[in-house]
Amino acid sequence: MLILSCPNCGELKDETELSAGGEAHLTRFGPGSSDSDFEGYLFNRENPKGVHFERWRCSSGCGKWFHAARCTATNEVFGTYSAQVTEPPQEIRDVVSAKRPGWTWRDLS
């Protein structure tokens, strides 16, 4: 069972108490954007085997959204962080770099 710690209420939550919200830090393209930007935002995903940044909701807890950094190949959790950011904070990236040297995700590393 995957267990994540909600950074909003500080509780450790089982995956059955959470809702998965999919890939994080998408740039939102709306009306007026190019077809490929809109397609990319709506459909295309990194879907990596390895380091992944994703959105979760503490749905049977405080009800708030947050972010998690997790390895999709092993389910190792690198950390959770606030929903109010557009890319993973430096301390999360440092944890990932220590455990997965040379990782990349989109244009981040």
Partner 1 sequence: MKRYSAFAVAREAFRFHSGWERAWRSPEPKSEYDAIIVGAGGHGLATAYYLGKNHGIKNVAVIEKGWLGGGNTGRNTTIIRSNYLQDPSAAIYEKARSLYEDLSQDLNYNIMFSPRGVIMLAQTEHEIRGYQRTAHANALQGVATEFISPQRVKELCPIISLEGPRYPVLGGLWQPRGGTARHDAVAWGYARACSDMGMDIIQKCEVTGVMSENGKVSGVRTTKGEIKCSKLGMVVAGHSGVLAEMAGFRLPIESVPLQALVSEPIKPCMDVVVMANTVHGYMSQSDKGEMVIGGGTDAYNGYTQRGSFHHIEETVRALIETFPMISRLKMLRQWGGIVDVTGDRSPILSKTPLEGCFINCGWGTGGFKAIPGSGWGMAELMAKGHSPLTEDFGLNRFREGRFIDESVAAGVAH
| Sites of contact with Zn ion (CB under 5 A) | 6, 8-9, 58, 61-62
Q: Which of 45, 82, 89, 108 binds partner 1 (CB under 8 A)?
A: 45
Q: Are strands 77-81 and 65-71 parallel, antiparallel or unpaired?
A: antiparallel
Task: Provide the minimum distance between the beta carbon of 103 and partner 1 in the complex, in angstroms, as a whole number.
Answer: 13
Q: Which of 28, 30, 31, 43 binds partner 1 (CB under 8 A)?
A: 43
- Partnered with residue 55 across adjacent β-strands are 67
Task: Provide the minimum distance between the beta carbon of 23 and partner 1 in the complex, in angstroms, as a whole number.
Answer: 8
- Tell me if residue 27 falls in helix, strand or coil: coil
At 88, which amino acid appears?
P
Residue 99 found at the interface with partner 1 (CB under 8 A): no
What is the phi-psi region of residue 79: left when phi exceeds 0, alpha when psi lies from -120 to 50, beta otherwise? left
- By residue count, the chain amounts to 109
Which of these segments, 24-32, 47-55, 57-65, 77-85, binds partner 1 (CB under 8 A)? 47-55
Residue 64: CB partners within 8 Å, gap ≥ 6? 6, 8, 9, 57, 58, 83
Residues that bind partner 1 (CB under 8 A): 1-2, 15-16, 19-20, 22-23, 35-36, 39-40, 42-49, 52, 54, 72-75
